[in-house]
Structure 1
Amino acid sequence: MKPYRVLAAAALALAVLFPAPTRAQDDAASRVAALRAEPEALTLASGERARLEVVAVDADGNVVEGIQFRMFGRGVRVENGEVVAGRGGDFQVFVTAVFPPGTDRRPPTLVVPVHVDWPPIATVEVRALDEGRLYAGTRLRHTARALHADGSERPRPELAWTSSDPSVASVDRFGMVSAHAPGRVVIRAGAEGATGELTYEVAPLPVARLEIRGGLDRARQGDVLTFQAVALAEDGSTVDDVPVDWSVSFVPDDTIHAPGAAGIVDHGKFVGEVPGVYTIVATAGPNVARRTVDVRPRDVVQEIELVGHGSVNTVHTSDLWIFEGVDGRDYAVTGTWGGDGWAYFWDVTDPAAIRRTDSIQVDARTVNDVKVSPDGRYAAISREGASNRRNGVVILDLSDPAHPEIASVYDEGLTGGVHNMFATNDYLFALSGGDKYVILDVTDIRNPRYVSEYNHPDSRIHDVWVHDGIAYSSEWGTGVVVVDVGNGRWGGSIENPVFVTNVPYPVGATHAAFPYAQESTGKFYLFLGDEIMSRQGAAWSGAGLSRIPQQGGTPSVTSGYIHIIDFTDPENPRDVARYEVREFGTHNLWVEDDVLYQAYYEGGMRMVDVSGELLGNLAEQGREIAVFKSFDPNGYVANAPMVWGGQPYKGHIFFSDFNSGLWAVKLKPKGRPIS
Structure 2
Amino acid sequence: MVHHGGGPPACGHHARPHGTIRRAGSCPWPYHVTHPFPLMPMRSPRTPFVSMSSIRLVLTATAMLTGALLAACGSDPVSVGALGVGSGTTLTHVAIGNVSDRYTSELWVRGNTAYTSSWGIRSVARGNAVKIWDVSTDQPRLVDSVIVENASTTGDVQVSDDGSIMLVAIESNPNGGVAIYSMADARKPQLLVRTTGGEMQYGVHTAELARVNGVLYAFCVVDPSSNVASRLVVLDLSNPATPRTVFSQAMGRPNLHDVFVRDGLLFTAEWNDGMGIWDIGGAGNGSVAQPRRISRITTLGGQVHNMWWIHDPVTGNKQYVLVGQEGPGSIGSTSSGDIHVVDISNIQLPVEVAFYTMPGAGTHNFSVDEANGFAYAAYYNGGVQVLDVRGDLGNCAPGQRGADGRCDLQKMGRWKARYAGGLSAPVYVWGVHWTPTGVFASDMLHGLFRASPAKR
Same fold (TM over 0.5): yes
CA separation of 1:568 and 1:382: change in aligned 2, threshold 3 A: same
CA separation of 1:382 and 1:668: change in aligned 2, threshold 3 A: closer
Q: Contact 1:391 / 1:416 at 8 angstroms: preserved in 2?
A: yes
1:439 aligns with 2:234: yes
Partner of 2:205: 419
Partner of 2:193: 408
TM-aligned CA deviation for residue 570 of structure 1: 0.6
TM-aligned CA deviation for residue 495 of structure 1: 1.6
Q: Which stretches of structure 1, 4 residues or longer, exceed 6 Å deviation after superposition?
A: 93-96
User: What secondary structure, in the 3-state scheme, does the structure 2 residue paired with 1:367 have?
Assistant: strand
2:392 aligned to 580, 601, 613, which one?
A: 613
Q: Identity rate of aligned residues, in percent? A: 27
Partner of 1:515: 309
Distance in 2 (alpha carbons) for counterparts of 1:450 and 1:512 = 23
Distance in 1 (alpha carbons) for counterparts of 2:327 and 2:252 = 23
CA separation of 1:92 and 1:647: change in aligned 2, threshold 3 A: closer
TM-score, normalisation: structure 1: 0.52
User: What secondary structure, in the 3-state scheme, does the structure 1 residue paired with 2:347 have?
Assistant: coil
2:367 aligned to 590, 594, 601, which one?
A: 590
Q: Contact 2:252 / 2:270 at 8 angstroms: preserved in 1?
A: no
Partner of 1:344: 131
2:218 aligned to 428, 431, 451, which one?
A: 428
User: What secondary structure, in the 3-state scheme, does the structure 1 residue paired with 2:153 have?
Assistant: coil
User: What secondary structure, in the 3-state scheme, does the structure 1 residue paired with 2:92 have?
Assistant: strand
Partner of 2:379: 600
AA partner of residue 345 (structure 1): I
AA partner of residue 378 (structure 1): I
Structure 2 unaligned regions, length at least 5: 1-10, 31-40, 59-63, 65-69, 73-85, 225-229, 395-406
Distance in 2 (alpha carbons) for counterparts of 1:479 and 1:355 = 40
1:498 aligned to 278, 283, 292, which one?
A: 292
Distance in 2 (alpha carbons) for counterparts of 1:430 and 1:630 = 31
Partner of 1:530: 325
Structure 1 unaligned regions, length at least 5: 36-67, 77-90, 97-104, 106-110, 114-273, 275-298, 325-329, 535-546, 549-554, 634-638, 671-675
1:559 aligns with 2:354: no
TM-aligned CA deviation for residue 485 of structure 1: 1.8
User: What secondary structure, in the 3-state scheme, does the structure 1 residue paired with 2:319 have?
Assistant: strand
CA separation of 1:380 and 1:313: change in aligned 2, threshold 3 A: same
Q: Contact 1:302 / 1:669 at 8 angstroms: preserved in 2?
A: no
TM-aligned CA deviation for residue 331 of structure 1: 0.9
AA partner of residue 430 (structure 1): C
Q: Contact 1:461 / 1:475 at 8 angstroms: preserved in 2?
A: yes
1:210-240 per-position Cα deviation (integer Å, ceiling 9, x unaligned): xxxxxxxxxxxxxxxxxxxxxxxxxxxxxxx
CA separation of 1:73 and 1:3: change in aligned 2, threshold 3 A: closer
Distance in 1 (alpha carbons) for counterparts of 2:208 and 2:253 = 22
TM-aligned CA deviation for residue 522 of structure 1: 2.6
Larger relative strand fraction: 1
AA partner of residue 395 (structure 1): I
1:652 aligns with 2:438: yes
The within-5 A match list for 1:154-165 is none
TM-score, normalisation: structure 2: 0.76
The within-5 A match list for 1:180-579 is 304-324=91-111, 330-339=112-121, 340=126, 341-350=128-137, 352-362=138-148, 363-385=150-172, 389-411=174-196, 412-425=198-211, 426-434=216-224, 435-456=230-251, 459-489=254-284, 491-519=285-313, 520=315, 522-534=317-329, 547-548=330-331, 555-579=332-356
CA RMSD of aligned residues (A): 3.4
CA separation of 1:69 and 1:356: change in aligned 2, threshold 3 A: closer
User: What secondary structure, in the 3-state scheme, does the structure 2 residue paired with 1:346 have?
Assistant: strand
CA separation of 1:73 and 1:424: change in aligned 2, threshold 3 A: closer
AA partner of residue 413 (structure 2): G
CA separation of 1:18 and 1:524: change in aligned 2, threshold 3 A: same
AA partner of residue 288 (structure 2): I
Distance in 2 (alpha carbons) for counterparts of 1:602 and 1:69 = 22
Distance in 2 (alpha carbons) for counterparts of 1:524 and 1:463 = 20
Question: For this pair of structures, how many residues does the alignment match?
Answer: 381
